[in-house]
């Protein structure tokens, strides 16, 4: 099918994490011989302390200002955005409905029956659904994924984007955005994932999220209270540095020699232990008894040697996420900075990929 006239603008991916706003703008390759995607613009803008509290926006103005700075830093002119909310803030349920229903009829029926699945007053939640496919229980039914989140989780993100002059076209779920980005790592491009079981450990500032994908689809998600903020706080305590300076020196270097052995090494061991513990929870809660690969994402994945240590401790092939490995680059992209930031940009990339669906 061809569309004539003006092409619909692509979506910017904006990941609002607990410590930073991350913005990604992609375009599509022009021919079959080129890379499938091209990175046009990206930016990372740190958030003020406590702008995000327990994955909820506590200061909409501060987050909006940070998004505005990220837009300016990236130099993008696009206005339409895909943003995500945490999986812990979303209720999902697979239900079966008649295959004969239209989308409008499904929406009506879901609204009528939603109170069976959602433990909040319906006027306090946003609801959406997606048809997964034919139901295994009956050829006359289809399985439908129902997703719901409290309105404040969505409204606060929409308001922050509005402050930056952007439009929220898509509100996604972080785990689905991660799944989309992982397809680039597992199979080179979305829809081409190999038949493997892959564990993605996304190490954020305060939370480590384990997403396990089988044949490219998420089969398990678990969050644990552990993240890179613990490393930053230990650097602050031990060397008497303010947060911003501690973060800068962890990223760029400049700390005393004792940092490597007395601070960084214990953190890396603790991270490997946390990932191993999360995998054990996965094995005990499923029929799987192993994973074929571990991918490390998030800001802490940039710590030198962390992939080698995790592989040694857990006995599973481990690599650091780089969603841009098979992409072409705009000339204005600074490659050394991108290499450092790449593992933390997975969700933003997965959101930007929504523009090609």
Q: Is the pLDDT of residue 31 over 60?
A: no
Say if CB 203 and CB 300 are below 8 A apart. Answer: yes
Over residues 32-77, the pLDDT tens digits come to: 445 789 999 999 999 998 999 988 999 999 999 999 999 999 999 9
Q: Which two tokens stand for residue 235?
A: 């650097």
Over residues 139-150, the pLDDT tens digits come to: 899 999 888 899
Separation in Å, CA 332 to CA 40, 57, 77, 140, 329 = 8, 32, 15, 53, 8
Over residues 232-248, the pLDDT tens digits come to: 999 999 999 998 899 88
The answer for 279, left when phi > 0, alpha when psi is -120 to 50, beta otherwise, is alpha
Long-range contacts of 318-324 (CB under 8 A, 24+ apart): 318/293, 318/294, 319/293, 319/294, 319/295, 320/295, 320/296, 321/181, 321/185, 321/200, 321/295, 321/296, 321/297, 321/346, 322/185, 323/181, 323/184, 323/185, 323/349, 324/39, 324/349
Over residues 212-229, the pLDDT tens digits come to: 999 888 899 999 999 999
Range of weakest confidence among 124-133, 225-234, 319-328: 124-133
Cα(37)–Cα(311) distance, rounded to whole angstroms?
Answer: 30
Helices (H), 151-256: 151-163, 174-186, 229-239, 243-252
Residue whose entry in the numeric block shows the structure tokens 């999360």:
278
Cα(198)–Cα(187) distance, rounded to whole angstroms?
Answer: 12
- Measured N-to-C along each axis, helices 306-314 and 265-285 cross at an angle, to the nearest 10 degrees, of 50
Domains of the chain, CATH where assigned: 1-88+151-188+326-357 (3.30.420.40), 89-150 (3.30.1490.300), 190-321 (3.30.420.40)
Predicted pLDDT at 34: 55
Q: Categorize the per-residue pLDDT at 260 as very low, low, confident or very high, splitting at 50, 70 and 90.
A: very high
Predicted pLDDT at 189: 46
Q: Is the pLDDT of residue 190 over 50?
A: no
Predicted pLDDT at 30: 61
Q: Is the pLDDT of residue 86 over 60?
A: yes
Predicted pLDDT at 344: 96
Q: Is the pLDDT of residue 231 over 90?
A: yes
The answer for 295, left when phi > 0, alpha when psi is -120 to 50, beta otherwise, is beta
The three-point CA angle 203-28-15 to 5° equals 30
Q: Three-state SS for 33?
A: coil
Predicted pLDDT at 192: 46
- Using H for helix, E for strand and C for coil, what is the string for 145-174? EEEEEEHHHHHHHHHHHHHCCCEEEEEEEH
Backbone angles phi, psi at 60, to 5 degrees: -60, -40
């Amino acid at each position: 099918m061809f569309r004539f006239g003006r092409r619909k603008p692509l979506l910017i991916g904006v990941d609002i994490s607990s410590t930073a706003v991350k913005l990604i703008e992609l375009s599509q390759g022009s021919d079959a011989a080129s890379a499938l995607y091209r990175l046009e613009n990206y930016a990372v803008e740190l958030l003020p302390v406590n702008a995000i509290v327990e994955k909820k926006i506590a200061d909409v103005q501060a987050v909006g200002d940070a998004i505005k700075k990220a837009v300016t830093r990236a130099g993008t002119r696009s206005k339409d955005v895909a943003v995500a909310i945490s999986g812990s803030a979303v209720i999902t349920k697979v239900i079966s409905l008649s295959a004969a229903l239209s989308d409008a009829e499904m929406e009506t029926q879901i609204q009528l029956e939603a109170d069976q699945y959602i433990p909040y007053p319906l006027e306090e939640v946003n609801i959406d659904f997606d048809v997964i496919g034919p139901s295994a229980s009956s050829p006359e039914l289809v399985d439908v994924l129902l997703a719901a989140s409290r309105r404040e989780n969505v409204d606060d993100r929409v308001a922050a984007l509005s402050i930056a002059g952007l439009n929220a076209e898509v509100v996604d779920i972080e785990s689905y955005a991660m799944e989309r980005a992982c397809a680039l790592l597992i199979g080179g491009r979305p829809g081409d994932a190999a038949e493997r079981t892959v564990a993605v450990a996304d190490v954020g500032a305060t939370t480590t999220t384990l997403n396990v994908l089988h044949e490219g689809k998420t089969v398990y998600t678990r969050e644990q209270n552990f993240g890179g903020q613990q490393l930053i706080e230990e650097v602050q305590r031990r060397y008497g540095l303010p947060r911003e300076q501690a973060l800068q020196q962890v990223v760029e270097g400049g700390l005393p020699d004792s940092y490597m052995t007395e601070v960084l090494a214990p953190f890396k061991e603790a991270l490997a232990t946390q990932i191993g513990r999360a995998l054990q929870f996965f094995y005990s809660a499923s029929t799987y008894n192993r994973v074929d690969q571990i991918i490390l994402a998030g800001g802490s994945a940039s710590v030198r040697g962390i992939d080698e240590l995790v592989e040694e401790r857990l006995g599973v092939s481990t690599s650091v996420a780089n969603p841009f490995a098979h992409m072409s680059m705009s000339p204005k992209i600074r490659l050394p900075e991108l290499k450092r930031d790449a593992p933390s940009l997975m969700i933003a990339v997965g959101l930007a990929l929504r523009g090609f669906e």
